[in-house]
A and B are shown apart, each in its own frame.
Chain A
């Protein structure tokens, strides 16, 4: 069993102390990526549920910069302590409540007290209380003693209905969370112990607050709301958090110079900035506190100058932003985008250095329209899947390597993240040998005007990376939607069926270009059109030898000769429209699945039927709601992804429809094996040959079953030995090693200096490597450079040639 296709953006990532590694929460594991190459270097495996927080133990002094320790928290109720360089699990704390968020303030201002021993380490975690019968679960912020591995009893800072993200100030003095229309902020005492009292304040707003951020050294709090406004409170908690100047605060409160502050909140002033058109997701203060980064649904990173409110933009990131974090290296930071990509930025200039991309996640808008189903397409021979993404691209993703191969722009249109989707790539088909791709994009009409369906054929190069557009066909079935595209396994023919009641057979024709006779131009042209009683054609399939074309016309299956376009036979009469057709391998059987057209209807009669082609009659059938069918290329087995609702009324109340994968042999109606799965809506299923080299001779033994669920997480199963849970596929996870040799300073510009053999200088200098080159120090506009005092020493240091040892 092999899993993959995890989300990289479920939780904020974290940089290591030397900024060379990025720790990303990927499902049950934490993946460590190299920031210089963008490749995965190792993985921390140990949690049994989704990891929700990862916190790198910061370096307190320059010597500990290379320490690689981190804390992780997960929904399985465990907090773990890792050495991620090794990688090695060092400590596990089980608190038995799902943890949604964790912060450890004392890491940021850890001080060795007078006795010389470390004080206890406390974490603040947002946990979910044990579910009680009939009550929705409640969430609270609790305190956990990490040193003694236990929850501190009786300390619950806040209770909410929704899991909140706990935000910590960069100094570690304050933690806060946003709850509906207010912010709650607590001050963490400098000496944290189990029983301390917390000073807390609340800040109110009129709209739901989505995110918040603390200023690194002043008492400034920023918050973003659902309408795109950014609120900036200054002088927060002057009254509550400062012990001495209480009289001053009173004066202020009495006076009227507190602009924008709502009903007695503890702040001096509140300003509002409004640039974002929709929800603000990202707020982050720069480390010197001069700038505020904000981002939202538009996919634009905005940099606000805090004092003046002036803005700078990084546009066209292409997807809603989710998190922004900066690294200990001030020239590097990262943005997590909603399309499962993490962009690494070079900082003052805000260029995208490289991006770490995972499998494209389904868009929340995608299932809004009927017929806009976005199904993942498998290329069984190469172990690839093609995933349509929101920005009119198709991503090719390798199942075995668990990484992106390439992306193809299907429709040349600018994508504005967050807009209502009106143009979408809604069908992708790959030919069996992977040489041709076919896509369908649909533009929705506006008030009945201007709808357009476009069918495109693409030629794939040998390298799987060069994909070029071959043929464009506008409105192939007038204005009717295309329901299915199938390629003939023997090549050079495809069929497209439409709900408009006809199907078209397309063939590839070659012609010579007039200018250069050696270059062949191939295009796809319509070979034949067929229809059966004007019934909507819902799906089509070719038999494995390509001699028979089966097209489902509403409730019957029509069989055609694709070359001569003659109707051979009509079989079947199911109760519901047929949604899926597959010929089983090289056998004489055809599997059809029918489902209710309207999902909500009670009396649906879904059916899974196996037809014998020699007798033209049904062999056996099930009453099964089938989502996907796939057949093995070699033998006569096939697998279905089914959803079966239990009959009993008691079980129905639980609303747990069982979703499962069933493996059948066509000869027998009893399933060979069954796997239970979840989130099957919008999922896909396919047999994939595990060995890429044996494309021609695919034996049944090297085929594995690939299942991808609606959240684009996939699993590879071995269908033939169910006892053996481990799949004997050697996963070639190319964990790249971290070693990179960078030249710094002088050497990076002018090359290495010639070595001088000076005898006089014998004393070795203790040198400390600084990550900055002088180029980095001065890149960017002058106002971002920082104080001259700091710059000077940095500059001089970078100019000095660093010695690795004593010059003999």
Chain B
């Protein structure tokens, strides 16, 4: 027994790019919010050297550019007043673990400590002989100390309250341009230098030489402790390397997909649904080639890459996975924010929920409620249940129903009214297969003919449909010449059609000319 097939349009080639992975969707969902001003207004004209997020909610973030540090609200993304008490370009910035203090290094070699809220200048740590390009507060719990690295190739460990340098960590032979503190220990610090070396320091064990030395083989632009504390990512040249620190500094992987120098790294997270387990860590890297790449270091694979029109210098990702900020060398700040589905609950939220659940006022469903009739509809079948599927109702388009009844002209008109060119062409092809298209065309009344001519005018020069529609347009004009002459409206359609066809012919001719120019060249190229 034969089943009924609906009329389907021709298949179109699909490329894998058209179906984004869930991960790509996630990274694309960081969009410039509409309620704040657009990116050009975030332009500071000077390169944005560094971006840092506050570790506590609402995760304010700062960006350094020329001699000032801009603070942005993590909630509204509005800029707060800037700190501009620098005498030279600010180069590095870091929040304390409680988010209350902010440290920034500048090119004079001074590290400034500010109150993040009041922006009052608290401390000046002087000691570096050259520009400070790296400042890091310990990430775990220590609120009193600070690491900094400078172009004098020295890494300093500061006691902030007394403005004194506790240790000078020596060992690098060139500019120290980057550093990161360990996420699990307050005493561990990693620094990267232009002497191609990455050094891991532990202020407990030794204060003079490094615990470990890694060779990145290119000037190191950025280092990053991964959240486990056992892995380090280093960026320099056009590659990013992942090292196993616990395993004795073994190189795990070298990611070489950037074209130009990688300038900054930061941790990103992919939040799938809710809950901690659903989050997966990624390394975000930005480079001078304008690409931001997302690297999954568990699978050692690039999962997403995104292009920006300018060389990128710095990147930041908020710990609550809602905001992604990228700074460029031309001073543009690309702020991307993901639309949060559920607003993060307040601290007391859990308590309130509990009260709601314990509410005894839940009533028994009675037939007087509408919900009574919906009860059990969302019930999921349990393991042993035998499922009886309801037969799916076959939805048929109107033209399908009419075609089934052999009402061909009406089917064509119904398809034309739906304004979906693919289905119109599919119906026409089906009519051709039934040898009824010409009859349909000759039976159309003036209004319906207008509909058909408007369709032909719009689509007959589209390459995908041209094969059928140009010939059909010819036939229609031939068959219905009398009717077209007698109606002004139809004459307008035909005039438009003529214009479109002439334009298409011109395009084709110029394309032919181009082909004529190219083909001898191709011949020559193929011969070599």
Q: Which residue of A lies closest to B438 (CB)?
A: A447
Q: Inside 8 A of A447's CB, which chain B residues have their CB?
A: 438, 475
The segment out of B149-157, B413-421, B428-436 that lies at the interface is: B428-436
Inter-subunit contact A318/B1 (CB<8 Å): yes
Q: How far is the CB of A110 from chain B (nearest CB, A)?
A: 39
Residues of B223-281 at the interface with A, using a CB-CB cut-off of 8 Å, are none
Inter-subunit contact A422/B434 (CB<8 Å): yes
Instruction: Please classify the interface of chain A as helix (H, G, I), strand (E, B), loop, or mixed, using the class held by over half of its residues.
Output: loop
Inter-subunit contact B10/A474 (CB<8 Å): yes
Q: Inside 8 A of B2's CB, which chain A residues have their CB?
A: 316-318, 391, 414-415
Q: Does B382 contact A (CB under 8 A)?
A: no
Q: Inside 8 A of A446's CB, which chain B residues have their CB?
A: 431-432, 435-438
Contact with A along B389-413 (1 / 0, CB 8 A): 0000000000000001000000000
Cα–Cα, bound, A391→B19 (Å): 35
Inter-subunit contact A316/B1 (CB<8 Å): yes
The segment out of A372-380, A448-456, A548-556, A703-711 that lies at the interface is: A448-456
The number of chain A residues with a CB under 8 A from chain B is: 29
Choose from B3, B11, B437 the contact partner of A450 (Cβ within 8 Å).
B437
Cα–Cα, bound, A419→B472 (Å): 24
Given contacts A450-B472, A511-B16, 5 further A-B contacts (CB under 8 A): A352-B1, A449-B475, A450-B437, A475-B467, A513-B16
Q: A352-B1, A514-B16, A515-B19 are in contact. Are A450 and B438 (CB under 8 A)?
A: no
Inter-subunit contact A443/B432 (CB<8 Å): yes
Some 28 contacts from A to B, beta carbons below 8 A apart, are A316-B1, A316-B3, A317-B2, A318-B2, A391-B2, A414-B5, A414-B404, A420-B435, A422-B434, A422-B435, A446-B431, A446-B432, A446-B435, A446-B436, A447-B438, A449-B432, A449-B471, A449-B472, A450-B428, A450-B429, A450-B468, A450-B472, A451-B432, A452-B429, A474-B10, A475-B467, A514-B19, A514-B21
Cα–Cα, bound, A475→B10 (Å): 12
Q: How far is the CB of A509 from chain B (nearest CB, A)?
A: 12
Cα–Cα, bound, A514→B19 (Å): 8
Q: Does B351 contact A (CB under 8 A)?
A: no
B4, B429, B438, B467: most-surrounded residue (chain A CB, <10 A): B467
Cα–Cα, bound, A323→B21 (Å): 57
Q: A316-B1, A318-B2 are in contact. Are A422 and B437 (CB under 8 A)?
A: no
Cα–Cα, bound, A450→B431 (Å): 9
Q: Does B8 contact A (CB under 8 A)?
A: yes
Q: A450-B429, A511-B16, A514-B21 are in contact. Are A414 and B4 (CB under 8 A)?
A: yes
Q: How far is the CB of A711 from chain B (nearest CB, A)?
A: 24
Inter-subunit contact A515/B21 (CB<8 Å): yes
Q: Inside 8 A of A452's CB, which chain B residues have their CB?
A: 429
Q: How far is the CB of B430 from chain A (nearest CB, A)?
A: 8
Cα–Cα, bound, A474→B429 (Å): 13
Q: Which residue of A lies closest to B469 (CB)?
A: A449
Q: How far is the CB of B407 from chain A (nearest CB, A)?
A: 15
Q: Inside 8 A of A420's CB, which chain B residues have their CB?
A: 435
Residues of B195-240 at the interface with A, using a CB-CB cut-off of 8 Å, are none
Cα–Cα, bound, A391→B10 (Å): 20
Q: How far is the CB of B396 from chain A (nearest CB, A)?
A: 12
Binding site for A on B (CB under 8 A): 1-5, 8, 10-11, 16, 19, 21, 404, 428-438, 467-468, 471-472, 475
B16, B428, B433: most-surrounded residue (chain A CB, <10 A): B433
Number of A-B contacts (CB under 8 A): 66
Q: Does A412 contact B (CB under 8 A)?
A: yes
Q: Which residue of B lies closest to A416 (CB)?
A: B434
Inter-subunit contact B8/A412 (CB<8 Å): yes
Cα–Cα, bound, A450→B425 (Å): 10
Q: Which residue of B lies closest to A413 (CB)?
A: B5
Q: Does A87 contact B (CB under 8 A)?
A: no
Residues of A409-432 at the interface with B, using a CB-CB cut-off of 8 Å, are 412-415, 419-420, 422-423
Q: Does A136 contact B (CB under 8 A)?
A: no
Cα–Cα, bound, A629→B431 (Å): 39
Q: Inside 8 A of A423's CB, which chain B residues have their CB?
A: 433
Cα–Cα, bound, A450→B469 (Å): 9
Q: How far is the CB of B39 from chain A (nearest CB, A)?
A: 30
Q: A449-B468, A449-B475, A515-B19 are in contact. Are A443 and B433 (CB under 8 A)?
A: yes
Q: Inside 8 A of B434's CB, which chain A residues have their CB?
A: 419, 422
Binding site for B on A (CB under 8 A): 316-318, 352, 391, 412-415, 419-420, 422-423, 443, 445-452, 472, 474-475, 511, 513-515
Those 9 A-B pairs whose CB atoms lie nearest each other, nearest first: A450-B432, A318-B2, A412-B5, A449-B471, A446-B432, A316-B2, A514-B16, A423-B433, A446-B435
Q: Inside 8 A of B438's CB, which chain A residues have their CB?
A: 446-447
Cα–Cα, bound, A514→B301 (Å): 13
Q: How far is the CB of A665 from chain B (nearest CB, A)?
A: 45
Q: Inside 8 A of A513's CB, which chain B residues have their CB?
A: 16
Q: A318-B2, A352-B1 are in contact. Are A413 and B468 (CB under 8 A)?
A: no
Cα–Cα, bound, A423→B433 (Å): 6
Q: Inside 8 A of B437's CB, which chain A residues have their CB?
A: 446, 449-450
Q: Which residue of A lies closest to B10 (CB)?
A: A474
Q: Inside 8 A of A448's CB, which chain B residues have their CB?
A: 471
Q: How far is the CB of A780 from chain B (nearest CB, A)?
A: 19
Q: Inside 8 A of B3's CB, which chain A residues have their CB?
A: 316
Q: Which residue of B lies closest to A511 (CB)?
A: B16
Inter-subunit contact B1/A317 (CB<8 Å): yes
Q: Which residue of A lies closest to B20 (CB)?
A: A514
Q: How far is the CB of A517 from chain B (nearest CB, A)?
A: 10
Q: Inside 8 A of B472's CB, which chain A residues have their CB?
A: 449-450
Cα–Cα, bound, A450→B465 (Å): 10
Q: Inside 8 A of B1's CB, which chain A residues have their CB?
A: 316-318, 352
Q: How far is the CB of A457 from chain B (nearest CB, A)?
A: 13
B8, B435, B438: most-surrounded residue (chain A CB, <10 A): B435
Q: Inside 8 A of B430's CB, which chain A residues have their CB?
A: 413
Q: How far is the CB of A797 from chain B (nearest CB, A)?
A: 33
A317, A446, A474: most-surrounded residue (chain B CB, <10 A): A446
Q: How far is the CB of A422 from chain B (nearest CB, A)?
A: 5
Cα–Cα, bound, A506→B231 (Å): 48
Q: How far is the CB of A352 from chain B (nearest CB, A)?
A: 5
Cα–Cα, bound, A673→B1 (Å): 45
Q: How far is the CB of A530 from chain B (nearest CB, A)?
A: 15
Cα–Cα, bound, A709→B440 (Å): 42
Q: Inside 8 A of B475's CB, which chain A residues have their CB?
A: 447, 449
Cα–Cα, bound, A445→B428 (Å): 12
Q: Which residue of A lies closest to B11 (CB)?
A: A472
Cα–Cα, bound, A513→B18 (Å): 12
Q: Inside 8 A of B4's CB, which chain A residues have their CB?
A: 316, 414
Q: Inside 8 A of A352's CB, which chain B residues have their CB?
A: 1
Inter-subunit contact A445/B16 (CB<8 Å): no
Q: Inside 8 A of A475's CB, which chain B residues have their CB?
A: 467
Q: How far is the CB of B463 from chain A (nearest CB, A)?
A: 13
Q: Which residue of B lies closest to A454 (CB)?
A: B10
Cα–Cα, bound, A514→B433 (Å): 37
Q: Inside 8 A of B8's CB, which chain A residues have their CB?
A: 412
Cα–Cα, bound, A316→B4 (Å): 9
Cα–Cα, bound, A92→B434 (Å): 52
Cα–Cα, bound, A472→B11 (Å): 8
Inter-subunit contact B10/A443 (CB<8 Å): no
Q: Inside 8 A of A449's CB, which chain B residues have their CB?
A: 432, 437, 468, 471-472, 475
Q: How far is the CB of B197 from chain A (nearest CB, A)?
A: 37
B404, B432, B471: most-surrounded residue (chain A CB, <10 A): B432
